[in-house]
Amino acid sequence: MFQLVIRSIMLAAALWTSLTHLSCLKAGDARDTPLVRAVQLSRKSVVNIHTERMSAEDKDSKFFSSKSRKVTGMGTGIVIDERGYIVTNYHVIQDVDVITVTLDGGSSYEGCPVSYDRKHDLAIIRITATEQLTVMNMGTSSDLMLAETVYAVGNAFGYEHTVTAGIVSQLNRDVEVDETQSYENLIQTDASINPGNSGGPLINLNGEVIGINVAIRSGAQRIGFAIPIDDARRTIARLMSVERLNGIPHGLATKDIKSAEEKTLVVEQVTAESAADLCGIKTGDVIRSIRGITVLDGTDLERSLLDLPRGKVVDVVVARDGREQTLQLTVGVGKPTRTPVAAISQQSDVNVADNHRRTAETPEVSGTVISDAEQGVMNRAWELLGLRLENLNEVERIEIVGKAYPGARKPVRYNGGLRVVSVRSGSVASRFVNEGDILLGLDGFETLGPTNISYILRDARISNPAPMKCQILRKGGSPIEGTLMLKNL
């Protein structure tokens, strides 16, 4: 009898445990809402941005002191390419000296500005991460509905990855912030947008970005604004132009087609004898993918070709006459562009980041046509120094100028350099310079291009040879200085 009672108690306990567990599962299912799933889907693609800049008074001073004042800022960014390209608002990184990017897992990296569009308040920055980043799923703003549920993720007041939810309050809002900045066609939302949310995503219940948070109504409650993602992606495509950043045109003019039913990129024009023309791409083709990257719009086109070396062959899948076919595009083949990259930047609101603007002494990016005179200067560097030099592309230059290196009195920044392609054995440079180094300076002058080299190696200088200071940047390290003895020429 006693054993029977014990057995009954054990059975009852087991039944109670099972019922409790079942109840918890049901409760868990109820909590696992579309909003929760959307947040989990998107959070790895949101980054937190912290910035620092010296106060205006300190920047005007000749020397920074230990009492120099730092002004801190914050914002948010969205991963748009797994290699570390991130979009944010331009006002988040405007005039800052240091950009720190923190990922969802907590790891932090130094951010480097790539390009920006002041008018549309968007900018691209890049980090060199030890891990491949997760690209945010891109939605469309073409089919947004009033009162549709949305949520924002951002670095609100420095509280990283803050999630707020709300609805689409209104569409097509025009907002004037001040005399210098206004926005058109914004999404209005009552999801809480706070300082630090700028540059972060406004996301739908499918976990897709439908806007980039940009502004709030001061003094109001829950009135925030976001740039529609379709508008933003057209600007981002220009910001990531491979012709502007790498100096390598593809020859395609395209059009984004976005609706609730489709997101496609249609070829509107192909430049004769360009890489795209030689590849076999035709007007009317729909580009499906490039080197395995799904292409939904112009941003995907540009990022799929960005930073690829000349001569690289990639698969391009296009839809034509209802059938898909695979073509092979060779990067950098065909006639080079006849429009200087500097001029291209002036044809739109897009610019490379501050301190990266070209001057008369700044060379065109690698791949553009150089004059016979400039080639003669480069040959002179080989003859006198034993260095075969070539221009950096825009991405390489930006990686250099975006960093501050330790200096004797204050951080030191460089405006670019020249890549050392080869070093002649037994030359004066062979004692100090290696192939693959970046030549930052020579004889107290920057070495940004042929004009600088021509001045440094002028006849008057060579006729009175003397030790020449040389600054180089070795991959993975900091700038180092050595001496070239011109008297040994």
- Residue matched to tokens 């006459």: 321
Whether the CB-CB separation of 338 and 272 falls below 8 Å is answered with no
In a domain, 2, yes or no: no
Tell whether the torsion through CA atoms of 218, 224, 229 and 230 is positive or negative: negative
DSSP string of 115-150?
A: EEETTTTEEEEE---SSPPPPPPB--STT--TT-EE
**59 in any annotated domain:** yes
The answer on pLDDT for 209 being more than 90 is yes
Please state, as a whole number, how many other Cβ atoms lie within 10 Å of the Cβ of residue 230. Answer: 21
The residues that are catalytic are 91, 121, 198
DSSP 283-316: TT-EEEEETTEE--SHHHHHHHHTTPPTT-EEEE
Which tokens sit at 45? 């693609």
Lowest mean pLDDT among 7-11, 35-39, 120-124: 7-11
Residue-wise DSSP of 24-69: HHHHHHHH--HHHHHHHHHGGGEEEEEEEEE-HHHHHSSS--TTPP
* Residues above pLDDT 90, as percent of the chain: 48
Q: Looking at the structure, do residues 213 and 254 belong to the same domain, yes or no?
A: no
Per-residue model confidence (pLDDT) at position 466: 67
* Residue 303 in domain: yes
The whole domain housing 153 covers: 31-247+348-354
Q: Based on the domain organization, do 119 and 215 belong to the same domain?
A: yes
Mean residue pLDDT across the chain: 82
What is the crossing angle of helices 229-239 and 298-305, to 10°?
30
My answer on whether 230 and 288 are in the same domain is no
The answer to the question of residue 476 being in a domain is yes
* Shared-domain flag, residues 212 and 260: no
- Report helix, strand or coil for 239: helix
Structure confidence by residue, pLDDT tens digits, 228-255: 999 999 999 999 999 888 888 999 999 9
Q: Is residue 464 part of a domain?
A: yes
**pLDDT class for 142, splitting at 50, 70, 90?**
very high
> Please, which pLDDT band fits residue 57 given cuts at 50, 70 and 90?
low
Q: For the ranges 4-18, 200-214, 302-316, which has the lowest average pLDDT?
A: 4-18
The structure's pTM equals: 0.68
User: Is residue 123 packed enough to be buried (19+ CB in 10 Å), middle (13-18) or exposed (0-12)?
Assistant: buried
Nearest CA-CA partner of 275 in 316, 334, 315, 326: 334
Q: pLDDT by residue (tens digit) across 368-380? A: 344 556 677 778 8
More confident residue, 460 or 325: 325
Q: How many Cβ atoms from other residues are within 10 Å of residue 434's Cβ?
A: 12
pLDDT of residue 353: 54
Position 350 pLDDT exceeds 70: no
Residue 403 within a domain: yes
% residues pLDDT > 70 (the chain) = 80
**Do 74 and 174 fall into the same domain?**
yes
Residue 368 amino acid letter: T
Region of poorest pLDDT, from 281-295, 381-395, 413-427, 473-487: 473-487
Q: Dig out the tokens for 230 from the structure.
A: 């379709």
- Please answer whether residues 49 and 74 qualify as being in contact, where contact means their C-beta atoms are separated by less than 8 angstroms: yes
Residues 312 and 411 in one domain: no
> Encoding tokens for residue 262?
């489709």
Shared domain check, 283 and 393: no
Q: Examine the pLDDT at 355 and tell me if it is beyond 60.
A: no
Domain total of the chain: 3
Q: Give which of 275, 231, 233 is closest to 250, Cα–Cα.
A: 275
What does the block give as tokens for 20? 């409790």
In a domain, 83, yes or no: yes
- Residue 300 scores a pLDDT above 90: yes
Answer positive or negative: Cα dihedral of 216, 221, 223, 224.
Answer: positive
Q: At 36, is the pLDDT very low, low, confident or very high (cuts 50, 70, 90)?
A: very high
Helix, strand and coil in the chain, % to nearest 5: 25, 35, 40
Here the CATH number for the domain that contains residue 176 is 2.40.10.120
Does the structure show a pLDDT above 60 at 317? yes
Q: Are residues 303 and 283 in the same domain?
A: yes
Query: Is 1 a member of any domain?
Result: no
Tens digit of each residue's pLDDT (9 = 90 or more) over 86-102: 999 999 999 888 999 99
Query: Is 126 found in the same domain as 83?
Result: yes
300 and 288 in a single domain? The answer is yes
Residues 270 and 330: beta-carbon distance below 8 Å: no
pLDDT band, residue 352 (cuts 50/70/90) = low
Residue type, 254: T
Cα gap 70→55, rounded to integer Å: 6
- Report yes or no: 151 and 46 within 8 Å, Cβ to Cβ: no
Question: What is residue 28's predicted lDDT score, i.e. its pLDDT?
Answer: 60
- Coil, strand or helix at 261: coil
> Is the model's pLDDT at 359 over the cut of 50?
no
Sheet with 108-110: strands ordered across: 108-110, 98-102, 46-54, 70-81, 85-88, 122-126, 112-117, 350-352
| pLDDT tens per residue, range 421-477 | 888 888 888 888 988 899 998 887 888 888 778 878 776 556 666 678 888 998 778
State the Rg of the chain over Cα.
28
Burial 474-486 (b: 16+ CB within 10 A, else e): eeeeebeeeebeb
Residues 292 and 414 in one domain: no
From start to end of 322-380, where are the E strands? 323-330, 350-352
| Higher-pLDDT residue of 213, 476 | 213
SS (H, E, C) 385-401: CCEEEEECCHHHHHHHH
CA nearest to 86, candidates 194, 201, 167: 201
Q: What is the CATH number of the domain that holds 463?
A: 2.30.42.10
Mean pLDDT, rounded, for 258-274: 93
Predicted local distance difference test score (pLDDT) of residue 213? 96
Find the mean pLDDT for residues 337-356: 46
Lowest mean pLDDT among 130-139, 353-362, 379-388: 353-362
Res. 334 pLDDT band, cuts 50 70 90? confident
Buried b (16+ CB within 10 A) or exposed e, 182-211: ebeebbbbbbbbbebbbbbbbbbeebbbbb
Other Cβ atoms closer than 10 A to 261: 10
pLDDT at 190 over 90: yes
Query: Residue 217's pLDDT band (boundaries 50, 70, 90)?
Result: confident
Based on the domain organization, do 261 and 242 belong to the same domain? no
362 or 39: which leads in pLDDT: 39
Encoded tokens for 341:
């990259």
